[in-house]
Structure 1
Amino acid sequence: MKLISWNVNGLRACIQKGFMDFFNEQDADIFALQETKLQPHQIELELPGYHQYWHSAERKGYSGTAVFTKQKPLSVRYDFDEAEGEHPKEGRVITLEFEQFYFVTAYVPNSKEELARLDYRMQWEDAMARHLTKLNETKPVVYTGDLNVAVEEIDLKNPKTNHFNPGFSDQERQKMRDLLGLGFADTFRTLYPEKVEYSWWSYRFNSRAKNVGWRIDYFIVSQRLMNQVKDSVIYGDILGSDHCPVGVEIEF
């Protein structure tokens, strides 16, 4: 199966910049989006052969996720199985159950400047870890999306100057390491321990042209799935957003 994920940073804008060309060319079995920035009634996307699942934020023009899948899932869940009101309704998580695995896409909350939202980010990470661990007890998990963290220094261009910035704080990095320690694997870094590729570049300072970027978009899988992962790809030459798509090929 070919699985792809892309933070489109506004789907309507991305469509004007070639989204459908990439989508059609890849012909993925599952295609996940983050930061759609729209309500379902604001777009009619014709995707023959795909089932569409949308999760929008209550706040208009903010956040939002979607999944397009050729195979109809056995079940679909939105957000976490936790008490109502524990997390703001920001449209951040979709979980699809298939016969052989769970597919989870997420747009992880940004900790914001001066780590203003770090405390909530930590709560959110704990909730996600519980969610993924519970799923993993039943069948393997594929977890993807904009996870808003560069774990190691190799994952961003300027680690020293970004040490205490959102996405590279000690707390966020440790949460990702903790998650991986629960029986999960970062597909790209497992297959390519020394490879330097990025998936996000700031719109400022001509960062993309200079390749001053971060790797913050992932495909993470249950450790027991790793031997079935044939490749993990970062499509760094695909424009249309400040993020590029990422993908994985898994043989089920």
Structure 2
Amino acid sequence: MTTLDASTETGETVKILTYNLNGIRSALSKGLIEWLSQNPFDILCFQEVKATHDVVDLLPFEALGYRYHWHAAEKKGYSGVATFSKLPPDQVIMGCGIPAYDCEGRILRTDFGDLTLLNCYFPSGTTGEIRQTVKMQFLDDFFAYVQELRKTRPNVIVVGDYNIAHTAIDIHDPVRNKTSSGFLPEERAWLTRWFDSGFIDSYRYKNPDKIEYSWWSYRAGARTSNKGWRIDYISVSDCCQDRIVAAGHLPNAVHSDHGPVWLEFAR
């Protein structure tokens, strides 16, 4: 069994990265492998890979010591998640058992010892009312799925693009965006309920007042002026609170319109 359930007395940690790539082939063309060679992590969780594994050159990842598990969307060039790990998982499950979401490649589960890691890409509601309705239904269904999972797997980490900025500190202009998808009152209320249900926002836990973002629009030089949103998270079950060593963002990585978010977690 993979030893992520070992005692924290060993002082060993595992480093997890979550990164919405907005197309893995695009990110690779922008130097992703070179960046990873200089910024090593034990587990990489990618969202919006927008490809099936067979059309991507994965040898450079293997050269860095990673093995992959991939959950692509049925629609070509859309959505999809992939988890790359230097640690062999004990179990891998694609999807959550709900066809409407599984066909879009939104959830990939990997178990490492006592730890369950969910790599997730939540739906966006920015294209209109229909997709916003899908998003809100996903939030309800995902909440129920995770709460059921925790009955048998209490140590859960949920990483990925949640497509929601939680509070005013997590968005550059909360007033003008109060009616924007991703910062709607009902979305923010869901995220409050999520954290109240037994999850810790690891970044905010370690950085209670720091202002950093994980996504910037391509429009009007938003990234240059740091007009961003914090919509990518690493949630940790509260029973694992004492295993959260450090957490942060890496906004200078420029392979996507998102930036990476990371967690250092005691084994």
User: What TM-score results when the alignment is normalised by the length of structure 2?
Assistant: 0.90
Taking the aligned partners of 2:105 and 2:128, their CA distance within structure 1 comes to 24
> Which one of 53, 64, 86 corresponds to residue 70 of structure 1?
86
Aligned structure 1 segments of 4 or more residues deviating by more than 3 angstroms: 85-88, 113-116
Change in CA separation of 1:27 and 1:89 when aligned onto 2, cut-off 3 Å:
same
The C-alpha deviation readout for 1:95-114, integer Å capped at 9, x for no partner, is: 11111210001110001245
Residue matched to 1:190: 205
Aligned-residue offset at 1:115 = 4.2
Residue matched to 1:248: 263
1:1-252 to structure 2, matched below 5 A, reads: 1-46=14-59, 47-48=61-62, 49-82=65-98, 85-87=99-101, 89-137=103-151, 138-252=153-267
Change in CA separation of 1:192 and 1:135 when aligned onto 2, cut-off 3 Å:
same
Aligned-residue offset at 1:193 = 1.4
User: What TM-score results when the alignment is normalised by the length of structure 1?
Assistant: 0.95
Aligned-residue offset at 1:122 = 1.5
Change in CA separation of 1:205 and 1:4 when aligned onto 2, cut-off 3 Å:
same
Taking the aligned partners of 1:194 and 1:103, their CA distance within structure 2 comes to 27
Aligned-residue offset at 1:23 = 1.6
* Conserved? CA contact 1:113–1:165, under 8 Å: no
Aligned-residue offset at 1:134 = 2.3
* Conserved? CA contact 2:72–2:81, under 8 Å: yes
SS in 1 for 2:144: helix
* Conserved? CA contact 2:96–2:102, under 8 Å: no
Taking the aligned partners of 2:50 and 2:97, their CA distance within structure 1 comes to 24
Taking the aligned partners of 2:139 and 2:168, their CA distance within structure 1 comes to 21
Taking the aligned partners of 1:114 and 1:75, their CA distance within structure 2 comes to 37
Q: Give the partner amino acid of 1:171.
A: E
Aligned-residue offset at 1:79 = 1.4
Identity across matched positions, percent = 33
SS in 2 for 1:209: coil
| Runs of at least 5 residues in structure 2 that lack an aligned partner in the other structure | 1-13
Aligned-residue offset at 1:88 = 5.8
The C-alpha deviation readout for 1:134-157, integer Å capped at 9, x for no partner, is: 232223011101110000000000
SS in 2 for 1:63: coil
Taking the aligned partners of 2:208 and 2:20, their CA distance within structure 1 comes to 24
* Conserved? CA contact 1:185–1:220, under 8 Å: yes
Question: Pairwise CA RMSD of aligned residues?
Answer: 1.3
Aligned-residue offset at 1:51 = 1.9
Aligned-residue offset at 1:208 = 0.4
* Conserved? CA contact 2:214–2:228, under 8 Å: yes
Change in CA separation of 1:86 and 1:188 when aligned onto 2, cut-off 3 Å:
same
Q: Give the partner amino acid of 2:111.
A: E
